[in-house]
Structure 1
């Protein structure tokens, strides 16, 4: 994977972890206004998660990198995004994929004793197009 640089999230936490991953998935946007994107097509998505917190767990991790990959990669890799329950009522645009990734990651983080937060999700759909999702402060623990 080529080294990527992403927008920085201003915060005052002691620790910041960034996890890059990629996955292959297909989707379509079922609306004629989407143009060519209304036809099923695939992408190699590049994803970056920014996790931050003030405390480490008993092993010295903010969160285990492996667990982050399981939450995202295992769920979406080599799938048709439209088939996932979270996209039954809405189209899996890159914006919505970034938001759903945040929700899945944050749902796991709130269960950890050290209470880290996911501050940013970047989803790159093509070499020239990406989305940044940042939750509002009230959505964080």
Structure 2
């Protein structure tokens, strides 16, 4: 994978972890205004997740990289995003994919004893187009 540099977000935490991953998935946007995106088509999505926190777990991790990959890659790789329950009632736009990935990761982090937080998710849909999702408020 080519190294990517993404916008950074300021946060009050001592540790910051970034996990890059990619997955192949298809989607369609069933709306007249979506133009060609109304048809089923696929992307190789490049995703960057930023996790931050002050405390490490008993192993010395903020969070295990493998867990982040399991939450995202295992669920979405080689799937039709429209088929996932989390996209029912909405469209799997790049914006919604980024927000959904954030929500899934943060739900996992909320149960960790060291309480890390997801401060940013970047989803690159094409070489020239990406979305950054940041929650309005990062817990302190």
- TM-score class, shorter: over 0.9
Q: CA deviation at 1:49?
A: 0.2
Please give the per-residue CA displacement for 1:52-106, whole angstroms capped at 9, x wherever unaligned: 0000000000000000000000010000000000111000000000000000000
Structure 2: runs of 5+ lacking an equivalent: none
Q: Partner of 2:48 in structure 1?
A: 48
Moved over 4 A (4+): none
Distance in structure 1 (CA, Å) of the matches to 2:37 and 2:54: 42
Secondary structure of 2:57's aligned partner: coil
- Give me the whole-angstrom Cα distance separating, in 2, the residues matched to 1:33 and 1:137: 31
Q: CA deviation at 1:32?
A: 1.4
| Residue number in structure 2 paired with 1:122 | 122
2:71 counterpart SS class: helix
Q: Offset at 1:136?
A: 1.2
Q: What is the alpha-carbon distance in structure 2 between the residues aligned to residue 125 and residue 54 of structure 1? A: 32
- Are residues 1:7 and 2:10 paired? no
- Cα RMSD between the aligned structures? 0.9
Q: Report the Cα distance in structure 1 between the residues aligned to 2:118 and 2:66, rounded to whole angstroms.
A: 15
TM-score normalised by length of structure 1: 0.97
Residue equivalent to 1:131: 131
Alignment of structure 1 residues 1-141 onto 2, 5 Å: 1-137=1-137, 140=139
Unaligned runs of 5+ in 1: none
Alignment partners' CA distance in 2, 1:32 and 1:110: 38
